[in-house]
Amino acid sequence: MPVRVPLHTLMPDSEVAGLYHTAACLHSHEEARVGDRSALSNWFVSGLYSPIRYRLSEQRSADATGPVRVRINTLQRKMRLSADRVDAATETLNQAEKERKDQEWHAIVNPASGGGRTRKVWPPLAEKLRARGVRLHQHETAGVGDATEIAQRLVGEGASEILVVGGDGTLNEVINGVVADDEVASADVVLSLIPCGTGKDFARSLGIKSPEHALDVLTNGDISALDIGSISYRAGSTNERRFFVNVADVGLGAETAAWMNRSSKRLGGFLGYLVAAMRTIIVFSGKPARVLVDDVLVHDGPAGMVVLANGRYFAGGMRIAPNASLTDGLVDVLILDDVPKYTLLGSLLPRVYRGKHLEHPAVHHYQGSRIEISSPESMPFEVDGEQPGFTDIGVCMRRGALKVRTPAPAE
């Protein structure tokens, strides 16, 4: 709301006109550039008070007795603008500017995700966002690692809203561009997700049902501080680190994800991962593994799979950790014994889609914030569908480290 000040008794009309023009500029996003607003605001405030100081000093020179106090009170009543009013006006401008910047979103788009379906799904969604008043800047990936590089650059340029358009793998790359050395590069960064990939498992964990539902979450959702996992491993002769937000696993699940990534993904998420899991079970055999949860040895022997679940779903809809929470600072650890193939195919695989596998005697469930997995034989691992390396690995959870836009609670 414009600041109205009766100044005609304090300064010439030309000065009043200039001051009102400055005030109007301060309240207009079109007439005053962002970079100039701070300087204009300082000039505006100093301009309001300099005539007062001038008139008061002139009045004191003319008469240092009682009328001066009366005149001062009169000036104060005419100005009707105290320091707290100026502060309130400045705060209003700053808040308006923040809201304007918050409406500038950077979309990191992986057109190849979902077997290329993102190319068809995303353009109409982008138009709907623009129709809602969102200033959208689009950045497309062309290969592995591009999303990480784009996210790093955007954070460095001060972006506060990053929209991930793709699957779990694209999201994982963006997170690894936003987070560095176990810390989010900017506390102002908020990630949003439009699930267009094959699995869409993290979207399931959040409760985002479709790309169209994701649009409503973008404009009406909450901002939640979610946990992430930091996983350290060796790649060749160097120590590496990777962050994940949904699920990491060693063994059978990692082999399934690797086969899925090599396929065309034409079957989609559910059927594609089901076929990949069945194929992998047929050829897979367990390996010895040693697992520590918060420095306590919980397993030392053959294992078919070790799952570290921050979210509830993985592998195209398998409800791998039905009780997992994204905000408790803990990761659910599920260890599958090296069981016969007929047990996997006939008993465990059907159960995992319903979240009933925890009752099986071959499945062991733990929770912790620090996990170590080692093996005398090299075992592949995956994080959010990506395969960065092999065991041995160490995982440490970072509670509330990532701001993500999530669906608002149902009323």
Q: Are 343 and 305 a contacting pair, CB within 8 Å?
A: no
In terms of domains, do 92 and 113 share one?
no
Whether residue 330 lies inside any domain: the answer is yes
User: Can you tell me whether residue 324 is helix, strand or coil?
Assistant: coil
> Where a domain ends, among 48, 82, 100?
100
In terms of domains, do 261 and 381 share one?
yes
Q: Are 373 and 331 a contacting pair, CB within 8 Å?
A: no
Whether residue 241 lies inside any domain: the answer is yes
Q: How many domains does the chain have?
A: 3
In terms of domains, do 367 and 286 share one?
yes
Whether residue 225 lies inside any domain: the answer is no
Whether residue 403 lies inside any domain: the answer is no
Q: What is the pLDDT of residue 5?
A: 43
In terms of domains, do 59 and 183 share one?
no
User: CB within 8 A of 339, min separation 6: which ones?
Assistant: 304, 348, 362
Whether residue 236 lies inside any domain: the answer is yes
User: Can you tell me whether residue 218 is helix, strand or coil?
Assistant: helix
Structure tokens at 72: 């001062």
User: Can you tell me whether residue 235 is helix, strand or coil?
Assistant: strand
> Where a domain ends, among 100, 134, 169?
100
* Domain around 36: 13-100
The DSSP symbol for 167 reads: -
Q: What is the pLDDT of residue 399?
A: 94
Q: Are 271 and 207 a contacting pair, CB within 8 Å?
A: no
In terms of domains, do 240 and 348 share one?
yes
Cα angle at 57 between 54 and 62, to 5 degrees?
125
Whether residue 5 lies inside any domain: the answer is no
User: Can you tell me whether residue 179 is helix, strand or coil?
Assistant: strand
Q: What is the pLDDT of residue 259?
A: 67
Q: What is the pLDDT of residue 277?
A: 73
CA distance 333 to 279: 24
In terms of domains, do 260 and 367 share one?
yes
At 170, which helix (H) or strand (E)? helix 168-178
Structure tokens at 368: 């912790």
User: CB within 8 A of 2, min separation 6: which ones?
Assistant: 23, 24, 27
In terms of domains, do 81 and 114 share one?
no
Q: Is 39 exposed, middle or buried (CB count within 10 Å of its CB: 0-12, 13-18, 19+)?
A: exposed
In terms of domains, do 54 and 91 share one?
yes
> Where a domain ends, among 53, 82, 100?
100
At 212, which helix (H) or strand (E)? helix 211-220
CATH number at residue 108: 3.40.50.10330
DSSP string for residues in 42-84: HHHHHHHHHHHHHHHHHHHHH--SHHHHHHHHHHHHHH---HH
CA distance 140 to 134: 18
In terms of domains, do 392 and 269 share one?
yes
Per-residue tens of pLDDT for the chain, all 411 residues: 444 444 444 444 444 444 444 444 444 433 333 344 344 344 333 444 444 444 444 444 444 445 444 444 554 554 554 555 555 655 554 454 445 445 689 999 999 887 788 888 899 999 999 988 889 999 999 998 999 999 999 999 999 999 999 989 899 999 999 997 656 656 679 999 999 877 788 999 999 988 889 999 988 899 999 999 999 997 777 888 999 999 999 988 777 776 666 665 665 656 666 777 778 778 788 899 999 999 999 999 999 999 999 999 988 888 999 999 999 999 999 999 999 988 888 888 889 889 999 999 999 999 999 999 999 988 889 898 888 888 899 999 999 999 999 998 863
In terms of domains, do 41 and 131 share one?
no
CA distance 197 to 113: 5
CATH number at residue 385: 2.60.200.40
Q: What is the pTM of this model?
A: 0.71
User: Can you tell me whether residue 321 is helix, strand or coil?
Assistant: coil
In terms of domains, do 92 and 132 share one?
no
Whether residue 282 lies inside any domain: the answer is yes
In terms of domains, do 137 and 271 share one?
no
DSSP string for residues in 331-382: EEEEEEE---HHHIIIIIHHHHHHT-GGGSTTEEEEEESEEEEE-SS--EEE
User: CB within 8 A of 159, min separation 6: which ones?
Assistant: 104, 106, 189
CA-to-CA separations, 126 to 146, 218, 281, in angstroms, rounded? 21, 12, 40
- Backbone dihedral region for residue 166 (phi beyond 0: left; psi -120 to 50: alpha; all else: beta): left
Whether residue 376 lies inside any domain: the answer is yes
Q: Which amino acid is at 372?
A: E
CA distance 306 to 394: 13
